Every structure is written in C-alpha cells, then in structure tokens.
Amino acid sequence: MKTVFSILLCVTFFASAQQKDWENPNVNQINRLPATATFYSYENSALAKSNKREQSKFYKSLNGDWKFNWVAKPADASMDFQDNNFDASKWKTIDVPSNWEMRGYGIPIYTNSVYPFFSDFPYINHHDNPVGHYIKTVNIDDSWKEKDVILHFGGVSSAFYVWVNGVFVGYSEDTRLPSEFDITEHIKKGENKIAVKVYRWSDGSYLEAQDHWRMSGIEREVYLKAVPKVRLSDFAIRTGLDENYNNALLEIRPEFIANIEDKYIKKVGHFGGNPLKTTIDDWTLSTQLLDAKGKEVGDKNVMKLEKYFGEWYPQRDNVKFGLITTEVKSPRKWSSDDPYLYTLLFTLKDVNGNPIQHTSTKVGFREVKINELGQFLVNGNPVKMIGVNRHDHHMVNGKTVSRADMEKDVQLIKKFNFNAVRTSHYPNDPYFYDLCDTYGLYVMDEANLETHGTRGQLSNVPEWSNTYLERAVRMVERDKNHPSIVMWSLGNESGTGPNHAAMAGWIKDFDPTRYIHYEGAQGNPKDNKEKTYYDPDISAPIDRPWVDVISRMYPHPDEFQNLIDKSKSDGRPVILCEYAHSMGNSTGNMKKYWDVIYKNDRAIGGYIWDWIDQGILQKDKNGKEFLAYGGDFGDTPNSGSFCINGIIASDRTPKPEIYECKKVNQPAVISETDALKGKFKILNRHHATDLSKYTLEWTLTENGIIIQKGMLPSLSTKPYNTEEININFKKPKLKAGKEYFINFKGKLKENTLWENKGYVVFEDQFQLNYSVPLVNSITGKSSLIVSENDTSIAIKNDSLLIQIDKTSGYINFYKSKGITLLESPLKLNFWRAETENDKAYRKALKLSEERIWMKAGDLIAIKDIAVNSNEKGKVIIDVKGQIKNPKTAVNLVYTILGSGEIKVDYNVIIAENAPNVPRMGMTFDVSNTYKDISYFGKGPQSNYQDRNYGAKIGLFSGDAQTMSYDYVYPQEYGNHTDIRWFKIKNKSGKGLLISGEEVLNFSVIPYGLQNLQEATHTNQLIDRDVLSVNIDLKQQGIGGDDTWTKRAQPHEEYRIKPGTYKYSFYLVPFSSEIKENKIRF
C-alpha cells in the first residue's frame, strides 16, 4: 500500500510540475506576501494622524499610463518583454487601473452562471486566453535606500506574473484581493522597469463565475510603498464591550517583521523556560487612542517587541489575543446611525528611542451579537439589515471604479435610507470599507468565490480546498479591523461541501467577534435523499451548523414568512441575501417584504438585487448613445440584459424603483391617532439615536396647494419608541371637488457627509376625511348638430367637431375651439410593452396566451351604435361591441357637450376563460407640442399598484421627457396611480384636461407601443411628432420577486383577471388655464 501511495504521489507531483501555473489549483501564488490590514507608513505622527497616503514620502502611486501590448493567446505572448533591453517604444499606452476590453482590446463578456470559456477545470483553452503585457518605468531616489520596498497590486484579472528590472518577482491569482511582493532585492536607485504579464483566464477563473461582466487587466490601483527593515507589519483590533455596553476593552495584536544586517529575525516563541532573545527585544511599539477631535483618550501604551518575538504558545488553548490592552471608559460607540471613529496611532521606536515608523488606523467601538430571540444586535440594540448587493461597475471603465464613484455610491446608499451592503460577490477595494466605516454602513464582506458553472462540484474536491481557504483567509486578514464589517460571507452559489466548512472553521477561530453567512449552506450532509434545499419555499430548512444565519434568495413574502415559522426551533436569524430582483421596470412588493421583516424578530433584513445597472456606454453607427449588455459585443455565451437590474442607473442616477425603497426604509414612521384633530404618533426605527437630528415640518394641502404649514418642536423620540405629536391646524373652508391632506416631512437639521441640511429623510401623508359634495362644474348648453353617413357620426357646432368611426366605435377626430386634440383614435388598450418580469413569468408559466391582448383593441366588432340628441347642448353616443378572441363585451358611452367636453363611460366584460389582462384602459395620440404635463395624483416618480407606497399624492408637473425614464431594455414605463386629473398643454397654454370620475392611472409616452414592445435598446426607440396618452382604470402590478420563474408575476391581488370593469373620465379642452380640474356634468 505504501508503494502504491508513493507512486501516486510521484505521479501527482509530476503532473503538477507539467501544468501551467495558471492551470494548477495547487499554485495560486509565487512569492506573494501574506495578506495584512491596509495601512501606510509616515515620517511623523502628525502625518500618520491625518492618514493621507499621498502626503507620505514612503508612498508612490504607479497609476497612470503604462506601455501595453495585447495578444489573443498565450502562444503569441512575448517571452522577453521583461528584459531591460527590450524595446517597447512602438507599443501603445493604456491607463492603469483599467480593463483592457474597455480600451478596445478584446471584448467584454457578460454571463450569469455559464463559464465564458470551455469548462474543463482546472484547464483553460490555450487558443482563447488573451494575454496583456504591461511595462512601467519608475524612478526611486535615495530616501528609500534603507527601506524594504513593497509592490502592491490592488486587483488583477485573473492571473499575472511580475518582473522588476528583468528579474522574476512573483505570480498571483485572485482577481479581487491585493497581491504584494517584496522587491527590495531587485529595485535600485534611479530608473526601474516593472513588467507584468496578465492572463485573462486561469484556474482561478473557475472560482470567479459571478453574475457580472468578465473583464481583464490591472483593474485596481498599483503602488509602491517603502517600509522600515524592522516594522509593524500587521495588527488586529478588537473592541469588546462590557455586559452593559458601556465600557470597552481595546485589544491590539501587532505583528512585526525584522530584517537586520541581512538577517531575518523570526518570531521564535518558546515552550517554557527562558524565551530566546533577539537583537530588537528592547525596541518598543507605543499606541495612543485619539477621539475625533484629536484629543487623547486613555493612557499611551508601550510594548517591548520581546513580548511578541518571545511569546509563549501553550500546549492547549491558544495565546491571549491582546498583546496590548486598554480600558476605555464610556466610548462613543460606532453604529450605522452614529458612525463615530477614533484614531489609533502607532509609533515604533528603536532601542535608543528613535522613531522608526508611524502609522494609524480608525477604530470604531462596536460589538455584534445574536441573542436568544434570533435578533442581530449591534451594541445591544436589534438591527435590521436594510441592504443592497453592490457590484463594482462603471459604464465607461467597467470593473474599475474610482474613489469618487465609490463615495458617490455610499452617499446614495445612505441618502435612500439603506444601512447595509453586501459586497457581492467579492471583496471590494479597501477604500470602500473606509467609506463604510466613515459614513456608517453594515457590511457583509464576501469572499471571491462562486463556482456557478460547476455548481457545487469543486466545493467537494480536496485538491481545491487550499484555494477556497486561501480566499477566505486573505479577505479576513485584510479587512479584519473595519468596524463596518459585521458578517463574513463564504462566497455565493457554489454548492456546499467540506471546502466551505474549512473556510468557516478558520474564520470562526480567527475572528470570534463576527458571524458567518453562506446561502448555499443548505441541507443535511447525512441526508442521502435528493437535494431540494435550494428552493426558498422549503418548509423545514436544515442549514449547516457552521453558518450563523439562515439565508435565502428570492422567496415570495409569504414563503419568507413560512421559512421563519418552520425554522423557529433552529433559532438562528433569517436573512434574504438577495431579493426584489430589480431587472427593468420592477421592484414591486417591497412593503410586503418589510412588513414580514418588521413583524418577526428573527427576520433581520435583506439585500436588494442589486445596486447598479451594469450597462456599458456605447454609440451606434449613427453616433447615438445607448447602454450595451450581454451579447452586444458578439460575446458568446452571454446572458443578455440580465446584468441590468440595479435601483440606480449605469450613470449613478436614481431610478424610479429606489424611491419606493427610500420610503420602505425610512427611519421614522408617522401614523394617525385622530387626523382631524391633529393627533399623530411617530415611531423611531433608528437603533442607536433619537430623532433630535431632524426637524419635522407639516403642511395642509388643498388639491396639492399648501394652505397651512408649521413646524413641530424638536423631537426626542428614543430608538424603537413612539411619541405622540400634535399639530395645530385650522379646519379649512371646504370647497367642492377639493381634497385635503396633512403631509409630514422629516428633514436633516444639519449637514451630513451624505447630504445637506434640509434634505427630506422621511415623510408621511394622511388624507383628511372631509365629505364635500361635488357639483356639476360644466353647464354649457351650446347647440350641437349630429350628422351620419355609412362610416361615421359627426357632432359639431361652430367651435367643435367630433367624429366617431362606425366600424370601431372610437372617436377618431376631436377639434375644439380651433385645437386639434387627437392625432389617432381614442381606443381600447389592453396591452403594455412587456416588462422583463412580464416576459419571464409568461415563459415560466407558459402564459404566452396573454399576448392575445396585444392587438385586441383593434379587433372590436360593433354590434350597435345608438345616438341620443334629445337634450339641447348634449349628445349621447352609446356604442356596443364585441371582441371575439378573447371573448369580451364592450360598451362605450360618449356624452358630448356643446361646449366641447366629452365624458367617456367604459364598461368591459371579459369572459371567464380569458387570460389575465396586462392593462385596462384607453389610449390616443396627441401632437408632441402638447408636452407640458401637470397632474394631481401619486408622484413624482412613476409608480404602479404594487410599487406606489413611496409615491405621494400631490400636484406635480413636468414634460414628456423629464417625466419619462428610459429603461436600458425598452419596456412599459412612466405610469402614475391614484390620478384625480391630469393636463397636457402646449406652449401657448392650450390643451386638454382629463379628469376621472374615480382615480385613474395615466402616462404620456414619447414612443409608440409597438416600438417599445419590439426595441431591445434605447437607440432603437423612434422619435415621433406625437405623444401617446394612456388613460387607464388600472395596470397589473410589475412584480419582481425574481425575473426568471413564476415569482416574476405580479402577486395575486395585483393581477387583472377576467370579469367586469367600469370607469369614467372626462375630456375637457381648454384654450387658457382653467380653474376647476375635478370635472362633473
């Protein structure tokens, strides 16, 4: 047996030796330094305190132009470009950091789960693996002479070799974490050449099958740093709080590297007796904690290095974590509500007391805990993770995101009332965590691990265990000191296996202060039945014991509640690591999800999928800009527009969906006790601060116009408490046709990092239940003449002409007081341009039959038209018709006044066996000169019946373009619900008022319905000289629990099922502004 094992070992070793590094899971790095926390060395403590690395003479950025050459496959790669005498003068330049596909080399590829290369792990197709060659020249002066020099790459996709001055330095994989190399022996004073060879694909790519653009190159920053020969090389910090969460124990575990006289001093330790002595035992490291104003907190600590180099390791248990400890009395604690940071200064001194190294880091005092109720506590307070999934993306630069854009993201996340982010699905640039520390966001830091294309196979292969573990270890080691990080995630959609268990085991032992997440950790390893645990509606969840939270993706809210109920005995918190798939016009049902979350202690929140549309800015052959997605670059395979699912656009502007999130997320909620008496109460959902940071303003509006207003005294509502509030308003003089609302707005009292004073953080609205009879507002009695022929009916007088087509029963001409109001017939409309959710659920449920409604409005067969002109100044046209398929009875009644107004009574009866209807309403075209729009109803952003909680009833105005939102993939958009009336007018003030007998839905769209239905990109939308005006009783909801199964369908209560539907509206032409907008006659 031993002989066989030896032979197998030799064969394995030989095979490994023959493999390319970039096809060998046993070779993930050569000479790469271990991961450490991110920090920089400075000349003095003042610079260290400010911690602006650009001010340190020991930091040198290598960002900028590099010489560059690209080849399509490894066989074409240069073998000598790294040599000092290689002539690269004819090479082009490329900016670093960047992705070479975004600079014209090769093509970006978007896939969700399928590998973009032939899958034969760990091997890569040698004929389809582009290689990029980079060269940079850098000058080094005497100031770095006595230093060690470290070369830092923030992120390179996906594998690369490095040379300095012609000498091989190292190799590394793992696109999303830094790689550092000690180049001290290879650097020289003066000009130095750094050469890098990057491979697009490697064996590491099998672990990087995330749902995003696959791009290549040096995509994160590159720099050099000079460090002392004897140095603080790393440190870990813990900030445990006492049982009352009052006082803290600051614990610090420093690590050192010592290179003296060409000798490397190791940490020798001992097993008892006297520890071995080193030449630097009497060197010291001092630490000092400073508050945000720079004031010293507590005593300065001084530790001799012998405490580290001679540390005793016991036979059982482990060493004490804190080599340096400081008791801190009543520190101001860090939370998302109050992200207060201290500064910890480090000073390393030699035996003579000379300062050798200065550095610093930020410290936030906070403690996370899961209690017996399954609540997630921060500093003892239950917290809900109101989160987003965030990918690195820029519409011009691809996976390279600037510091300014990272900060823009964090500001927007805070601005729209989120408090958490999941770094889906890989570690971010260290600066992003600095921002989260500073602004206050709870971070789920996720390992760069997704094997979607092979499902969970690699998670069960021992040969890959080191790679799995390495990706966890390096992430945790780098990010361990950020207070914003409250959970570690083992990756995404990689099945489950022992390799994950190894990751979890290491993290739990190394960092007992945080919790572990992994959604894939479902099922019982002892269970040999078919695994169905991926399904979020599972009734009896069994998750691996090495995860601390039960995590699921994309359940229906009812399934989510079922999961919570059925897993009650488990006791662990339940979280949605992905939900509310925001692809296209989507993100319905948000309030329903959060009703579940707020109702259940163990439901600790969720992360929307996802933050930003991953569109790439392009121009077509006519120079027209559009946003590209999968397949637009000839990339095969691809996942199409599945990357366009953010709640902000690719240019980082808010989409309509995010306003629904803002409302659902708001940190304070007002409810009415007795609105007519001005009695309300306010709930504070903050977990760490009261409401004194806000001013609370109120207004009383009459049809959207403010008629009274006031401001409440300063609020002091404590976290999770309610407070009674009273407003002193006078009952207005009630007017017919008017509606009255009390509106509250909670505004920032002071400027914050993320928004200025006066920004509205939360708002609520209450309709006052005043009953005011509505009188007829139009009584014009101008005479009308009715004439008929075989094809039409005409109703006219000196200032009016209306024609009704006898074939369709539709009004096809409408001119009043010289104004032409219709450019196409006012006709039935049962269809909307399909949203991506519409397409998804119709495919999943095989409901293509719903598309029969697309042309149904054009298929009406008239059975009878009755004309009643007995009353002076009024004509009533009663149209009865039938749509054969789907069987639908139609009754349209037009009441026409001599003064030009029309009332439309709509009555449709749909047969029981007909498919559901996307839309119930009417539509017509009007000249695009009537582009000025005002309305009284829900706005200002577009909204739908399952996404209108964040819209408020008010008086809004705009034009057809500013009120529109062009989705990257064209589809239905621009709807508004609860509309009392809306007006369209031209520059001269002439136009048409549409007023509902009951509330309406409406939209005004620049593009044709067929164009919206068929276009796949915005540059295919055709500008017209007309606008489409939609007057709807309702639309079905937009759904979006996911965008690929039945869960994409709107929930039951938001569907339009066969049955009887009635509504009425008024068309009122005007040549000058009219006073009354709520019309009756």
Q: Which residues are catalytic?
A: 493, 578
The whole-angstrom separation of Cα 793 and Cα 806 is 7
Between CA 342 and CA 285 the distance in angstroms is 19
Query: What are phi and psi for residue 743, nearest 5 degrees?
Result: -120, 130
Whole-angstrom distance, CA of residue 937 vs CA of residue 954: 6
Rounded to an integer, what distance in angstroms lies between the CA atom of residue 1056 and that of residue 918? 7
Q: What's CA 843's distance to the chain center, in Å?
A: 26
162: phi then psi, degrees, rounded to nearest 5: -130, 135
Question: Is the bond leading into 425 cis (omega within 30 degrees of zero)?
Answer: yes
SS3 87: coil
What is the rounded distance in angstroms from the CA atom of residue 181 to the CA atom of residue 2? 39
Rounded to 5 degrees, φ, ψ at 1052 are -45, -45
Alpha-carbon 877 to chain mean position: 52
Which pair of tokens denotes residue 725? 């509030």
| CA 692 – CA 689 distance, rounded (Å) | 8
Of 617, 686, 610, whose CA–CA distance to 648 is shortest? Answer: 610
- Label residues 170-203 b or e (16+ Cβ within 10 Å = b): bbbbbbbbbbbbbbbebbeeeebbbbbbbbbbbb
Whether 251 and 237 have beta carbons less than 8 Å apart is answered as yes
Q: Which H or E run includes 237?
A: strand 230-241
Identity at 932, one-letter amino acid code: D
How far is Cα 807 from Cα 104, in angstroms, rounded to an integer?
57
Nearest-angstrom CA–CA distance, 626 and 966: 10
Dihedrals phi, psi of 923, to nearest 5 degrees: -145, 155
DSSP track, 733-768: ---TT--EEEEEEEEESS--SSS-TT-EEEEEEEE-
| Span between the terminal Cα atoms of the chain, in Å | 99
Q: How far apart are CA 1000 and CA 586, in angstroms?
A: 21
Among 740, 798, 734, 732, CA closest to 766: 740
Instruction: Provide the β-strand partners of residue 608.
Output: 388, 579
